């Protein structure tokens, strides 16, 4: 019994000594590890320019002052995460959704297209002999004509001589039948009918003006001559289109080509008949890829006996995919996606109970209705921002976090050659700086002056829609002039004042760059930068009206580009007439 008591005592003393010698050092080691971690995550900022965030000590790149340690977030956020206030979430109408594997029963793909003439039924009315147009019975383009209708009368010296030959040959047809037959055939080659030839022969009178009759029925799509014109044999007089059937040409992107085949059913809608759907089938898929747009043409033939479709009309087609290897696919709304260059990104909510967000790069598949397939980057059950994505991205940029245009976080620049690298204003995540995720409070007078700048921007955008580089130069000068009239004294808040100074400079640089060149491609490159900074400006200060932030993934050589519009309808300023409706609304800045 004494033995056990002694052994127990020795064990207790051993444990006590072990704690004394090693417990203290373990605590110190833990503290040391925490210290190393804190030191690793330590950021350095400038007391005068809090937008500067660097991973090591040094000098401020703006004023040259020594950088000081930035306060480490007490909220336990990772380096790329940031938090919004509940008030900011409500103000910007930011909404999130939990994504999951969705069954694609209606796996229809949307295509944009345009109505054009059916080339197979078009005809060109030509003159089969030389002469002068004495009378033209077609008065205007769009006039309907029917087969056999008198179109024009033509005086032709050679036809006049041929008629005289016929009258002479008619008297010799018994003695020289080959000559008689050859003269008649000559007139037939000039498209004179048997009745016309017989009438000339029996009457013995030569007609000075020969009538020209329509060979087809249809609508005059183009008048190529006027009364009094001299014409040559084979010269076109009129273009006549038959609109009983028309074509609907749709653009199919390169990665979608394998999803379609001839004979697939297409459901077609148009703004002219909002509540009506037209059914047709794929008639032709162009075997040649357009290298400029990276698309092929998919053609549908539409019955148009009711004259419902007009050439030039925009239509939308929905086609169910010919094959589907996946019964379930992970899809997200198109409103959740931001594009920059070849990158597609979304914002994921990392904390289910708090508004904490982080950017996530993803790989997209095909567009299905209003959604995109997600091939990589997201998992079933992730919660992402589906409305107000641009607002969240702006907040990320303003806090110096990774964002759409700023892959590495921290300071960002315009990214365009010839532009000055001016850092975006950011906030430090500490108690001494106000939260700038919310719209800044400014006077209505300032907003009205900013609205004038927006109006000038819209005129500039319209110039690019028309491919008018000279007008773009003039409108950009007017934009700079209206920008200079914005009174900074109306901004009483220092934070708002600093934001305006930074953004105003970037807008001015881009606008002046547009005014200094007539190269429309270079102008549009600067317009891309101008649109980005003006969008941030309107998001921060507001203009007392809704502004539509629109995006085309094929602009800027398939790098993608944004622009602003006052209307929801997409009118693309980056391609002119060639791709006027390419794009979609990504954000409504309210």
pLDDT for 275 equals 84
Q: What is the pTM of this model?
A: 0.45
State in Å, rounded, how far the first CA of the chain is from the last one.
86
| Statement: 123-241 belongs to CATH 2.40.50.100 | yes
**Residue 293 reports pLDDT greater than 80:** no
CB 384 within 8 A of CB 333: no
pLDDT for 399 equals 73
| Statement: 108-112+247-320 belongs to CATH 2.40.30.170 | yes
**Residue 499 reports pLDDT greater than 90:** no
pLDDT for 582 equals 85
Q: Which residues of 342-360 are buried (b: 16+ CB within 10 A; e: fewer)?
A: ebbbbbbbbeeeebbbbbb
- CB-side neighbour CA atoms (13 Å) of 468: 12
Q: Per-residue pLDDT averaged across 230-248, rounded?
A: 91
**Residue 412 reports pLDDT greater than 70:** no
Bridge partners of 345, per DSSP, are 338, 361
Band of the pLDDT at 483, cuts 50, 70, 90?
A: very high
**Averaged pLDDT of the chain:** 79
pLDDT for 479 equals 94
Band of the pLDDT at 416, cuts 50, 70, 90?
A: very low
**Residue 434 reports pLDDT greater than 50:** no
**Under 8 Å CB-to-CB from 104, ≥6 apart: which residues?**
324, 326, 327, 328, 329, 331, 368
**Residue 282 reports pLDDT greater than 90:** yes
- Nearest to 357, CA basis, from 342, 330, 338, 329: 338
pLDDT for 328 equals 59
CB 495 within 8 A of CB 440: yes
Q: Which residues of 223-245 are buried (b: 16+ CB within 10 A; e: fewer)?
A: bebeeeeebeeeeebbbbbbbee
Three-state DSSP class for residue 527: helix
Q: Which residue has the higher pLDDT, 17 or 505?
A: 505
Q: What percent of the chain has pLDDT over 90?
A: 29
Domain extents for the chain? 1-40, 42-72, 108-112+247-320, 123-241, 439-589
């Amino acid at each position: 019994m004494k033995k056990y008591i002694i052994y127990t005592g020795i064990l207790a003393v051993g444990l006590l000594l072990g704690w004394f010698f090693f417990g203290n050092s373990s605590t110190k080691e833990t503290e040391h590890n925490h210290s190393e971690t804190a030191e690793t995550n330590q950021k350095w900022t400038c007391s005068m320019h809090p937008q500067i965030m660097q991973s090591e000590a040094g000098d401020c790149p703006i004023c040259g002052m020594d950088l000081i340690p930035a306060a480490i977030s007490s909220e336990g956020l990772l380096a790329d995460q940031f938090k919004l206030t509940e008030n900011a979430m409500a103000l910007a109408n930011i909404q999130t959704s939990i994504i999951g594997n969705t069954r694609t029963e209606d796996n229809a793909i949307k295509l944009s297209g345009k109505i054009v003439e059916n080339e197979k039924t078009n005809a060109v009315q030509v003159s089969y002999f030389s002469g002068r147009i004495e009378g033209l019975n077609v008065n205007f383009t769009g006039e309907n004509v029917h087969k056999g209708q008198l179109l024009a009368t033509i005086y032709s010296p050679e036809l006049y001589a041929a008629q005289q030959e016929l009258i002479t040959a008619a008297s010799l047809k018994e003695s020289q039948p080959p000559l008689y037959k050859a003269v008649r055939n000559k007139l037939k080659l000039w498209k004179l009918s048997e009745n016309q030839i017989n009438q000339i022969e029996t009457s013995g009178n030569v007609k000075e003006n020969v009538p020209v009759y329509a060979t087809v029925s249809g609508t005059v799509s183009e008048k190529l001559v006027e009364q009094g014109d001299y014409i040559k044999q084979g010269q076109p007089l009129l273009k006549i289109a038959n609109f009983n059937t028309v074509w609907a040409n749709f653009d199919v992107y390169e990665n979608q080509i394998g999803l379609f085949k001839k004979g697939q059913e297409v459901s077609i809608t148009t703004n002219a008949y909002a509540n009506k759907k037209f059914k047709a089938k794929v008639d032709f898929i162009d075997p040649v890829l357009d290298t400029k747009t990276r698309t092929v043409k998919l053609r549908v033939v539409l019955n148009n006996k009711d004259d419902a479709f007009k050439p030039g009309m925009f239509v939308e087609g929905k086609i169910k995919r010919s094959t589907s290897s996946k019964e379930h696919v992970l899809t997200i709304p198109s409103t959740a996606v931001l594009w920059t260059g070849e990158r597609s990104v979304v914002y994921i909510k990392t904390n289910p109970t708090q508004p904490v967000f982080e950017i996530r790069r993803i790989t997209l598949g095909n567009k299905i209705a209003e959604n995109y397939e997600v091939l990589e980057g997201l998992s079933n059950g992730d919660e992402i921002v589906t409305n107000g994505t641009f607002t969240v991205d702006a907040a990320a940029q303003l806090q110096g976090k990774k964002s759409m245009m700023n892959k590495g976080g921290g300071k960002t620049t315009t990214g365009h050659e010839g532009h000055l690298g001016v850092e975006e204003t950011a906030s430090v995540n500490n108690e001494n700086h106000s939260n700038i995720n919310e719209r800044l409070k400014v006077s209505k007078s300032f907003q009205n002056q900013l609205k004038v700048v927006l109006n000038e921007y819209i005129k500039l955008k319209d110039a690019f829609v028309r491919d008018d580089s000279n007008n773009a130069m003039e409108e950009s000068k007017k934009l700079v002039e209206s920008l200079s009239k914005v009174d900074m004294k109306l901004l009483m808040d220092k934070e708002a004042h600093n934001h305006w100074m930074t953004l105003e400079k970037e807008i001015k640089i881009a606008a002046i760059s547009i005014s200094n060149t007539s190269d429309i491609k270079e102008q549009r490159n600067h317009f891309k930068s101008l649109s980005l900074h003006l969008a941030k400006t309107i998001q921060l200060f507001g203009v007392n009206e809704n502004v539509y932030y629109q995006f085309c993934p094929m602009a800027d050589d398939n790098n993608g580009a944004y622009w602003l519009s006052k209307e929801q309808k997409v009118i693309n300023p980056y391609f002119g007439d060639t791709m006027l409706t390419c794009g979609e609304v990504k954000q409504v800045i309210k």
